[in-house]
Amino acid sequence: MGLDKLLRKKKATIVRRWFDVVVDTYPVDTRRFLKSQQDPFANPVGRTTMTGLKHLYDGIVEGMDRETAATHLDPIIRIRAVQDFTPAMAVAFVLDLKNVVKSVCNEELQRGDALPEWLRFEHRVDALALTGFDIYMSCREKIFQLKADNERTRVMQTFARAGLLKIEPEADANSGAK
């Protein structure tokens, strides 16, 4: 049996273990909640992560373009970008898929003829990790820009209240004022 066929057959087990690996990057109380709470409205992080992992796994096995991969990876990375994860920690879960597959499919991977398929699989996972890093950096840039804009506005308002700066009111576009 080829590796791709084996990966399709063992999808449920691999995705579940991959989800567990992702969840294990969170603090203990959060882990417990993410694993036990099945209601998608009470646990949107768990639901978003599981849904994304399923789509990503299918894409890795079947092959998907970078744009489609980014669509499924973005929600997971976006959540991790606003939390206390370093860039490496935020994206490492993608690479962890390799270890999950090795643990689930170890016996089959020991065959000598599985190497070319394994290398293709690894390449797809690595490419996905790089896409994840790009997404993470984009999210962090946006966060820092929002913080800088907020701080600039706060300082300008403080100066204006102190009489050190005069802020001209913007013309209301709907009133026709110019």
- pLDDT tens by residue, 92-136: 999 999 999 999 998 888 876 888 889 999 999 999 999 999 999
More confidently predicted of 170 and 50:
50
Q: Could you give the 3-state DSSP secondary structure of residue 92?
A: helix
Query: Residue 178 pLDDT more than 50?
Result: no
Say what the pTM is.
0.79
What are the Cα distances from residue 55, in Å, to 15, 64, 69, 70, 123? 10, 10, 8, 11, 17
Q: Judge whether 83 and 143 are in contact, CB under 8 Å.
A: no
Q: Judge whether 85 and 94 are in contact, CB under 8 Å.
A: no
Q: Judge whether 118 and 101 are in contact, CB under 8 Å.
A: no
The mean pLDDT value of the chain amounts to 88
Model pLDDT, residue 175: 55
> Exposed/middle/buried for 149, CB within 10 Å: 0-12, 13-18, 19+?
exposed
Residue 168 binned pLDDT confidence (cut-offs 50, 70, 90):
confident
